[in-house]
Structure 1
């Protein structure tokens, strides 16, 4: 579960944040001390995906999108309706930018 952000992030202990070039259009951030995944961001366009568990205030989020839906195990189901995207649809959105 991630929260989207259009602005750069600030982390306590930022000197330990490292970035991995994970694709042509995106990077992943992690802590160099413990290995915790911190974010996924687009190289262009100002999009950050932050694991919701890293944030202090988790009360006012709306669960609205599931991606890679074709890879979802049959036993895995959420009660609320959301928008869904296949992996191919998601990648097409990023590579079109």
Structure 2
């Protein structure tokens, strides 16, 4: 928001997802609409104001220390989710051209949320826990 933290991301996928878990809703005020980019494809231009907080025993969230803007979600524990960084699509200078292809924790979605389009993969909390063992501890 303030520009104190900037990044360049390379080879960014055009598909993104929505996470409706309670933690993402509290962090963003809505659902996290994020695109997963391999960590080695994200270069932070200046990390002086890039802060991190452990949001669980297995993940962290990054934010700007100047304005508080949420910058990323990243799994810190080795396993099936490690190696990528989840960037909110709203922090890109040009967030056009993305297409939503999945929603997770769909059973935690507030009943007033409805996204346009169809054909997305939908996963409940139980589906996510079954697929990603690290969530068993969450």
TM-score range with shorter-chain normalisation? 0.7 to 0.9
The count of residues paired between Structure 1 and Structure 2 equals 96
Q: In structure 2, what is the equivalent of residue 64 of structure 1?
A: 101
Distance 1:94 1:56 in 2: 34
Instruction: Determine if the alignment matches structure 1 residue 23 to structure 2 residue 56.
Output: yes
Q: TM-score, normalised by structure 2?
A: 0.61
Flag structure 1 segments of 5+ consecutive residues without an equivalent: none
TM alignment of 1:1-97, pairs within 5 A: 1-8=33-40, 9-43=42-76, 44=78, 45-81=82-118, 82-92=120-130, 93=132, 95=134
SS in 1 for 2:90: helix
Distance (Å, rounded) in 2 between the aligned partners of 1:57 and 1:94: 34
Gaps of 5+ in 2: 1-32
